[in-house]
Structure 1
Amino acid sequence: MFKHIKSDIRAVFDNDPAARSRFEVVFTYAGLHAIWAHRTAHSFYKRRWFTLARIVSQISRFMTGVEIHPGAVIGSRLFIDHGMGIVIGETCEIGDDVIIYQGVTLGGTGKEKGKRHPTVGNNVVIGSGAKVLGSFRIGDNSNIGSNAVVLREVPNNSTVVGNPGRVVKRNGERVSDRLDHTKMPDPLIDSLKFLQKEIEELRERMGTEDNQKQEQRRLESQQYIGDYEI
């Protein structure tokens, strides 16, 4: 237990440049408090003291804004930065040296039994607001972009962005130029561009039809004049 406490504090200093002292970290970092409360709740959960485990997790949720189900398995040196709104499901498994930012959900997609939450590998960074939903693995050394919605397995050494989440980098090489975590797609702008294209096509079609009608009237006029002359 004390070994975990020491490594958890060290993880804060390794990942947060705002951390100034051990006293400050121990008494003011809600993410750290949530992890420690979960380790206690998880120990009760493994003893099948489910109600007591849930009581501890609910008190932690109220105090820290981080909801971790007692059944979740968490590795060493997890760092939760600004943890408000984080939800971690019952069958979720998290590896070592993982960083999770605020608003992240590691959840399921339905009411199925058994393993229904994601497995997160080692050295993974999950950006704020990201949703990882389903029973699959996030590979080691991967990055999940802010507000990404990940619904399928992510290979090792990958970067995922967008909704739905797509791998844009793997092993340091770009996979696709269609998505960039600094230029997230905007559905409203895409819809407006589509409408603008439709309007331009309609205008072009109407202009073509008007030109055809004018040409037809001109030909009919010429024919009438020619008949009159005859």
Structure 2
Amino acid sequence: MFKHLREDVKSVFHRDPAARNTLEVLTNYPGLHAIWIHRISHKLWGWGFKWIARSLSTFARFLTGIEIHPGATLGRRVFIDHGMGVVIGETAVIGNDVTLYHGVTLGGTSWQAGKRHPTLEDDVVVGAGAKVLGPITMGKGAKIGSNSVVVKDAPANSTVIGIPGRIILASA
């Protein structure tokens, strides 16, 4: 567990040049606080303690301004920068080393049971205000431009911008 906490702190220093020291990161990065609380609520969710998990998630949202459903699956070294207004839905899956900026929504497009939120593979970056909606996949290393609305899959190492999101760069 402490190994993962150290990884999280180290990932902040790799991705945020404004990070000055460990104490500052531990005490002043709400994205980390939201992720750490989510890890606990996700375990509780998996053990069947749904109400407690949702209550803890609500507390985290109150504390940080970041809403992560306890059913969502987050990888290692996920970095939520600035964070206010980030929403991550119940069936979202986020890979390792993903970066989300403020105002990002990983939302659903239906009220049906089952997979209805996006999957972000490893190393994806989602710009401020972007919405990634539905049971779609953003491939490894994909970049989503700020304020884009993405409703279709994006291949690995692609760049997606606009409303609706369109691929402007795809690696060969």
Q: Shorter-chain-normalised TM-score: which range?
A: over 0.9
Residues 1:152 and 2:139 are matched in the alignment: no
Instruction: Determine which structure has more spread, i.e. the larger CA radius of gyration.
Output: 1
**How far 1:132 moved relative to its partner?**
0.3
Counting aligned pairs with the same residue, the percent is 55
What is the root-mean-square deviation of aligned Cα atoms in Å? 0.7
Hey, which of these two has a bigger chunk of helix by percent?
A: 1
Q: Which runs of 5 or more residues in structure 1 are unaligned?
A: 174-230
Letter matched to residue 120 of structure 1: L
> Partner of 1:57 in structure 2?
57
> Partner of 1:82 in structure 2?
82
> Partner of 1:186 in structure 2?
none
Distance of 1:90 and 1:156 partners within structure 2: 24
Compute the TM-score of the two structures, normalised by the length of structure 1: 0.74
User: Would you identify which runs of 4 or more consecutive aligned residues in structure 1 move more than 2 Å?
Assistant: none
Post-superposition Cα deviations, 1:123-156, rounded to whole Å, max 9, x if no partner, equal: 0000000000000110001100000000011111
Post-superposition Cα deviations, 1:13-44, rounded to whole Å, max 9, x if no partner, equal: 00000001100100111001000000010010
Distance of 1:3 and 1:40 partners within structure 2: 16
> Partner of 1:8 in structure 2?
8
3-state DSSP of counterpart to 2:63:
helix
> Partner of 2:21 in structure 1?
21
Distance of 1:26 and 1:129 partners within structure 2: 25
- What is the number of residues matched between the two proteins? 172
* Higher RCO (CA < 8 A, seq sep 6+): 2
Q: Which runs of 5 or more residues in structure 2 are unaligned?
A: none
